[in-house]
Structure 1
Amino acid sequence: MTDTITAPWSSEQVAALEQFQTASGMHPFTCGDSRHTQPPRLVPSHAGWYCPDPTCDYRQDWAHTFMTDPTTWPRPFGDRHGPTPEEVREGIKTLGPFPVSADTLADVQARQAWEAQVVADHAAVARRRALAFNAIQPVLAKRDRHLPPSIRQEIADAVLAAVDGDAGAT
């Protein structure tokens, strides 16, 4: 285990510990109580760590020495956070942070294309139904003006089906 420091801490150490908790990229010190009303990330003070939840009385008086010096913080993933611009330009294929095989990428692209086609087909059907509904309104306005819109749409759908049936027969 690494060297540790114990409270009381100087203002510089408190500032560095707060920076570690929020910006180091490492998991922060947290309170183990599961009944929090606030996030359980411990807050440094001159007297040590404390839980920010007002209902919790957890305290800790030690920290790892390296936590007070940002230049010594471990960097488990280096400074990388995803592919470099060069890798992207060269065609590295990824979904999220992990590389994927060409087959998986092809499956995802095929699924996306299928979903786009379903949406386009649905939109086309909706447009055709609306056109049919509007086309029969002059006839229904004279003869069947008492019919509610839902029945008028059923009649429009029947007319559309009949027209589609005639078109399929030719």
Structure 2
Amino acid sequence: MEPPIEEQKRDYRPLGVSGLGGWLILIQLGLFLTIILLVVQLIQQILPMFTTETWELLTSKQSDYYHPLWGPVLIFEMVYNVLFLLFSLYTVFAFYNKKAILPRLMIIFYSVSLVVGIIDYLLLLQIPMARDLEDGSSMREIAKSVLTCAIWIPYFIKSVRVHNTFVK
């Protein structure tokens, strides 16, 4: 005779490893580091660009530093950083609640980081002052993002731990 349904559910154990350990510890650290860095970047770099003095310096046609792309680039960076901060917070929520959508969220997380990094870099190259200040750090960030995607996207697609952990 079959055990009652409640008992069957209680005895269910996924095949293989599960839980928030293993390589997922690095993912947790990365998510929290991303949130901290986004907050710091917003406070120290992006919000100061929207002060009247700085905004006028970059977007006023009378300024020596004027370029028509400064306004759109600054607004793009502000909107992206705020939205990515909110997305990162939601991803952490989904992570700790072991939501089944988490692998897709992480793939989006890494892919969007790469694509937006490339777009931002290409936009900034159009502004002579920004191009002159480029010291290669943007290309290094893009290369790190490509490497991150190459490692973690396949991990979230193929990992037994990921498959067994994020099931709710």
Pairwise same-fold verdict (TM > 0.5): no
**Which is strand-richer, 1 or 2?**
1
**Which is helix-richer, 1 or 2?**
2
TM-score by length of 2: 0.30
Q: Relative contact order (C-alpha < 8 Å, sep 6+): which is higher?
A: 2
Structure with the greater alpha carbon radius of gyration: 1
TM-score by length of 1: 0.29
